[in-house]
A and B are shown apart, each in its own frame.
Chain A
Amino acid sequence: MIFTIAARELRSLFLSPLAWIILAVMTLVFGIVFDISLSAFKQSPVPDGATAAVVPGLYELAMVLLFFIVPMITMRLFSEERRNQSLPLLFSAPVSMTEIVLGKYLGVVAYLMIMVVTLTLMPISMELGTSIDVGLLFANIIGMVLLLGSFTAIGLFMSTLTQVPALAAILAFGALFLLWLLKLPAYWFGENAVSYLSIASHYENFLKGVFSSADVVYYIVVIVLFLAFSVRRLEADRLGG
């Protein structure tokens, strides 16, 4: 049932030009950056090897772009259904609220995975000329997937709050930006509890190739929390009218 809803969501995404254009633009930007950093490496090779020179930069750029892109993808999830008044279809079908939320969530995650795959094909292509650091690449990929998962969960929750997609996008962007800002105090006070909560500081470990279970748990907590909030929010709709 979850997959039925996810498949519908994915299909509707690809029926709008937005999904295609975002994929195209992202691929173009990644391609250009990949090419530039690869050329830079060729001119002045660093001892860590090609993977370390190219991959972290590419994935860090991806994070920055996703700050803007994920809210645009998630904004319509619930707010557009609210505006079109099509939610009763899901609510009166024999599916639970959790299934609805998970279905929509996985639909968007599946779309974003396509982006991760196109992004990852670029460093893999280096295998033609050199040998890549598989461990580092994997850490980056896992980090990206977890990051996307939490961005999507936050965006999905924001779209349950309003019927105006644009508002949902702005709310999601604001929330992501705030979570990122939390790492700023670390510059003055060193690592502390607040900066630990930042969504970006955990990603940096993955960029360095460090796979720490604490970081994984952080992202999973964020995902579960915001999905649970969404379920609660939609239940409240039913209760409060």
Chain B
Amino acid sequence: MTDTVLIDVQELSRYFGNHCAVNNVSFTVNKGEVVGFLGPNGAGKTTTMKMLTGNLAPSTGSVTIAGHDLLDDPRAAKSAIGYLPEQPPLYRELTVNEYLDFCAALNRIPRDQRLAAREAAKEKCGLTKVADRLIANLSKGYQQRVGIAQAIIHMPPVVILDEPTVGLDPIQIREIRLLIRELGKEHSVILSTHILPEVQATCDRVQIINEGQLVLHDSIDGLEHHLQSASLTVAFNKEAPLSELEGIKGIKKVEPQREGRLRLFYEPDQNPVDEIVRRSAENGWGLCELRPGRVSLEEIFLQLTTEDKADDEEAA
């Protein structure tokens, strides 16, 4: 993984009338990264992606793709992008081959390389078997794949996928995720979704957007760290004295849960596991379960997106 910045977004905003759909968003994506773009419905994911691909002009701010400014030099910038919108942009009356040939020409692939490009894209997306069928007659999953094939046919450095796994069956979802991981090796990928496990399964980095603002920007590893810290789930065979547990250094709060389990929240830098095990052995509490509590991505997501709302309400 190199540190070449392929997507550089600076202070991007977009207004629809008075409504601010995207508010001052800045981020960069390096070569070979898969970035998950998360957010509730209407958070501004699609608007941001449309601006990244030149389908929507930003109200303010700049987008630089592979060193080319999207507004000053749209042709060079756009040839570095492959874009799959929410609804795959297909010509239903064409066959898969005809459609991909058109896309190859549209993306200015030299004539003698078009056939190879088409075959490679079909191969990657598993479309070889349906190459001569009309797009209109394909299932939703295959249409989605044709959409992805269209986005990668010219091997762009940047691939932008808007909810690529919507409407697919679980097997197809797995395949598409594998494909995205595969793409991430050679391309930079931005992927929007509101399916959280998808992000954990495919992305290197996560960005959460809410009400047009970027509320979290972290690597998956950083996020994992975030997720693991600060809680433990324990269970004892005998009644453990709550007060004594609360007295252990570093423990902030003890919260009883189902089936006699206890959830312990502690200061991030003072892990009390050793102390709990020692006391349990000394006092015979009968420790029978001990695992690091994980806040799910869902919880972080909810926390971030609702916190914001609360702040807004206070401000209003």
Q: A residues bordering B, Cβ < 8 Å? A: 1, 4-5, 8, 11-12, 15-16, 84-96, 238-239, 241
> Interface SS of chain A: helix, strand, loop or mixed?
helix
Contact indicator B94/A15 (Cβ below 8 Å)? yes
CB within 8 Å for A12 and B107 given contacts A92-B81, A93-B78: no
- How far does the alpha carbon of A87 sit from the alpha carbon of B94 in the complex, in Å? 16
Contact B106 A5 (CB under 8 A): yes
Known: A1-B108, A4-B106, A92-B78. A241 touches B90 (CB 8 A): no
CA distance A94 to B153 in the complex (A): 13
The total of interchain contacts (Cβ-Cβ below 8 angstroms) comes to 74
| B94 with A90: CB separation less than 8 A | no
Q: Are A88 and B85 in contact (CB under 8 A)?
A: yes
Identify the closest chain A residue to B151 (Cβ): A92
CA–CA, A15 and B102, complex, Å: 15
CA A238 to CA B58, docked complex, whole Å: 9
Cβ–Cβ contact A88 & B89, under 8 A: yes
- Name the CB-closest residue of B to A236: B57
Q: Does B248 contact A (CB under 8 A)?
A: no
Q: How far is the CA of A16 from the CA of B98 in the complex (A)?
A: 15
- For residue B178, CB closer than 8 A to chain A, the reply is no
Q: Is the CB of A15 within 8 A of B93?
A: yes
Residue ID in chain B nearest A93 by CB atoms:
B106
Which residue of the partner chain, among B14, B89, B102, B105, contacts A85 with CB atoms under 8 Å?
Answer: B89
Excluding A89-B89, A90-B106, 10 further A-B contacts by CB distance (< 8 Å) are A11-B98, A12-B91, A16-B93, A91-B53, A91-B55, A92-B83, A94-B107, A238-B55, A238-B56, A241-B16
Q: How far is the CB of B60 from chain A (nearest CB, A)?
A: 13
Establish whether residues B106 and A1, one from each chain, have CB atoms under 8 Å apart when the complex forms: yes
Chain B residues within an 8 Å CB radius of A1: 105-106, 108
Contacts of B91 in A (CB 8 A): 8, 12, 84, 86
Interface residues of B in 209-258 (CB under 8 A from A): none
The answer to whether A89 touches B106, judged by C-beta atoms less than 8 angstroms apart, is yes
B143 → chain A, closest Cβ, in Å?
A: 11
A89 engages B103 (CB within 8 Å): yes
Cβ of B55 and Cβ of A88 under 8 Å apart? yes
Those of B61-116 within 8 Å (CB) of chain A = 74-76, 78-79, 81, 83, 85-87, 89-94, 98, 102-103, 105-108
**7 A-B Cβ contacts within 8 A?**
A84-B91, A84-B92, A85-B85, A87-B89, A88-B85, A94-B76, A241-B47
